[in-house]
A and B are shown apart, each in its own frame.
Chain A
Amino acid sequence: MVSIASAASTTYDTYPDRTSRELFAEAAADAFAATALDPPAVDAVYAGNFMGDLLEDQGHMGPLFADHVGCREAASVRVESACASGGAAVREAVHAIEAGAADVALAGGVEVMSIADIEHVTDALANAADEVYENEQGVTFPGIYALMARRYLHEFDATREDLAAVSVKNHANAVDNPLAQFRRELTVEEVLASKPIATPLVLYDACPISDGASVVLLVDDEFAAERGLDPSASVLGTGQSSDAVALQDRASITRTPAAERAAREAYTDAGITPDDVDVLEVHDCFTVAEVLALEALGFYDRGEGVRGAVEGETAVDGSLPVNPSGGLLGKGHPVGATGVGQIVELTKQLDGDHPNQVSGAEVALAHNVGGSGASTTVTILGGA
């Protein structure tokens, strides 16, 4: 069994004067400060990052970050799977411990995005899509989710207002989260009146451009017991799957089969069903993405996922709390950090120490998506 010794995030915000190594090291220092582990105890470092070579002109981030967090001798590698880089880094770290290759693994993620103007950030994000069949044709990353959203509204009994309700819920949750970037409530009317980015999606259907880092320290539970560590949570199961990168190569654009497969694998690995899950952090890079996530993870039938936010079921005090952190929409989306940040938030929930605490949270699920669903990780956590 793999336990979470500690977990920490920087505040997600825009830091145009800071580099990824600084942010990663800040999150790591906070994580080390919360446990009896010292940096040299780390056997392996997995660093999630998507666009460092494009926007910071910096590759080879595995050893760079290992060096900056005090783990110079650890095995290290950068993990890249677009916006699922963080979730994939966590899964690699879990596997390293399960395989006996590491007793202590540091899984982190970081992204620095605000140093570039909006068109260049949009261009960098587009690297998650098919360069020839999509980007060269003028599709943007928000455009891809817009194609999915329009088709969803066409196929199912759902409205623009229904999608806006996701943004309203998650922005409201972010108000109380000190780590969140966008701590202001929005109304459905304000969401719908924001400027179009790729119709039918508007600005407040989309997550902001963010900088930030998150780190979790994962330990073998026997090692933790020997060292007298006091873990905050445990990893019950993980899953990961892939799909066509180009939207045009998918039989349906209102389903995310990689998430369905990743979820099945994770539920089986953890020995649970969706009914056992008490709280979720899902990848709401756009409002429609949260809806698709809840359907793929088995909580709603297809076409029914919009009910969650509209009817209050996914509110912090609802029957299925989703994104109490504020999600990507409210908390922010420093791409490579996001999947790790979700684990940080859920670790607090399981520790009973979250600003939007879900009462009685014992099982938590994180869902992290790369691109428009071509890669997805699902991680299920339980109490320590």
Chain B
Amino acid sequence: MPAWFDELTDAIDADEGEYRVCTACDAAVLPPRRCCPECGGDAFDTHPLPDRGTLRSFTEIHVTIPAFHGETPYTVALVEFDGRLTLTGQLRGANADDVAIGDDVAIGTERRDEGVRLVTFRPVA
């Protein structure tokens, strides 16, 4: 994984995750952007990444790629934070039948083989 993704997942593990917001147009962005994709601006404010977000969508994967061979079915989710920033990761502690769009989940990370870092989400009460 690129260093910037390791830094992001290390920060999430340490409860120090951050994201940035364009000072010109309020677009929320993740590493490693130099400029805002919406307006081209290059000035950003930094905001803490909350440890909880809400499920924006999810899918249970049945046909996968070689890196995840033998792990199906597993569930991938899009989770929104602060109503403006979304991360992609895998559901833990529940399967697709147990969750619904709008549910609250907590963010975490896992280490896989070959240094791959996985973003994870767990349902919270």
Give chain A's interface residues, CB within 8 Å of chain B: 118-120, 122-123, 126, 132-140, 142-143, 146-148, 150-151, 154, 195-201, 244, 246-249, 253
Q: Cβ of B56 < 8 Å from any Cβ of A?
A: yes
Does A198 lie within 8 Å of B61, measured CB to CB?
yes
Given contacts A150-B57, A199-B96, contact A122 B64 (CB under 8 A): yes
Contacts A119-B69, A136-B116 aside, 9 further interface pairs with beta carbons under 8 A come to A123-B66, A136-B67, A137-B119, A138-B67, A140-B61, A147-B57, A151-B56, A151-B101, A198-B59
Q: Is the CB of B96 within 8 A of A248?
A: no
For the complex formed, measure the closest distance between the CB of B85 and the CB atoms of chain A, giving whole angstroms: 8
Known contacts A132-B1, A147-B58; A138/B118 CB under 8 A: yes
> Known: A118-B63, A122-B63. Is A148-B5 also a contact (CB below 8 A)?
no
Q: List 26 A-B contacts (CB under 8 A).
A: A119-B69, A123-B65, A132-B1, A132-B2, A132-B5, A136-B117, A138-B65, A138-B90, A139-B61, A139-B76, A139-B88, A148-B57, A150-B58, A150-B59, A150-B101, A196-B73, A198-B60, A199-B59, A200-B59, A247-B78, A247-B88, A248-B78, A248-B88, A249-B30, A253-B56, A253-B57
Q: Which residues of B contact A244 (CB under 8 A)?
A: 37
- A119-B101 contact in complex given A136-B116, A199-B96, C-beta closer than 8 Å: no
Tell me, rounded to whole Å, the shortest Cβ–Cβ distance linking B56 to chain A: 7
Q: Separation in Å of the A260 CB from the closest CB of chain B?
A: 16
Which residue from chain B places its CB closest to the CB of A126 in the assembled complex? B65
Output the least CB separation between B49 and chain A (Å).
13
| Cα of A198 to Cα of B62 in the assembled complex, Å | 6
For B69, list chain A residues within 8 Å (CB). 119
**3 nearest interchain CB pairs?**
A146-B59, A248-B86, A123-B65
- Residue contact A199 to B60, C-beta cutoff 8 Å: yes
Whether B1 and A197, one on each chain, are in contact in the complex, defined by CB atoms closer than 8 angstroms, is no
Q: Indicate whether A195 sits within 8 Å of B62 (C-beta atoms), given known contacts A133-B88, A151-B56.
A: yes
Residues of chain B contacted by A199 (CB below 8 angstroms):
59-60, 62, 96
CA distance A133 to B4 in the complex (A): 11
- A123 to B64 Cα, complex, angstroms: 8
Which residues of chain A are within 8 angstroms of B119 by Cβ–Cβ distance?
137
Query: Which chain A positions have C-beta within 8 A of B96?
Result: 199
* A interface footprint on B54-95 (CB within 8 Å = 1, 0 otherwise): 001111111111111101011010100000001111100000
Task: List chain A residues, Cβ under 8 A from B37.
Answer: 244, 249
At the interface, is chain A mostly helix, strand, loop or mixed? helix
Query: What residues of A have a CB within 8 angstroms of the CB of B68 in the complex?
Result: 138
Q: Could you tell me the distance between the alpha carbons of A244 and B78 in the complex, rounded to whole angstroms?
A: 15
> Is the Cβ of B62 less than 8 Å from the Cβ of A197?
yes
Contacts of A197 in B (CB 8 A): 62-63
> Across the interface, which residues of A come within 8 angstroms of B63, CB to CB?
118-119, 122, 140, 142, 197-198
Interface residue from B57, B60, B66, B88 paired with A137 (Cβ < 8 Å): B88
Q: Give the residues in chain B near A135, CB-CB below 8 Å.
A: 65, 67
Q: Are B76 and A147 closer than 8 Å at their CB atoms? A: yes
Q: How far is the CA of A119 from the CA of B65 in the complex (A)?
A: 5
- B117: which A residues are within 8 A, CB to CB? 136
Min CB–CB distance A249 → chain B (angstroms) = 7
Q: When chains A and B are docked, how far (Å) is the Cα of A137 from the Cα of B118?
A: 6
Chain B minimum-CB-distance residue to A122: B65
Known: A122-B65, A132-B1, A133-B30. A143 touches B59 (CB 8 A): yes
Which of B37, B59, B87, B101 has the largest count of A CB atoms less than 10 A from its CB?
Answer: B59
Beta-carbon contacts under 8 Å, B1-60 to A: 1-2, 5, 29-30, 37, 56-60
Determine the chain B residues whose CB is within 8 A of the CB of A148 once the complex forms: 57
CB neighbours (8 Å) of B66 from chain A are: 119-120, 123
**B112 → chain A, closest Cβ, in Å?**
9
How far in angstroms is the closest Cβ of chain A from B110? 10
Measured between C-beta atoms, what is the minimum distance from B80 to chain A in Å?
9
| Inter-subunit contact B57/A134 (CB<8 Å) | no
Contact present for A138 and B74 (CB under 8 Å): yes
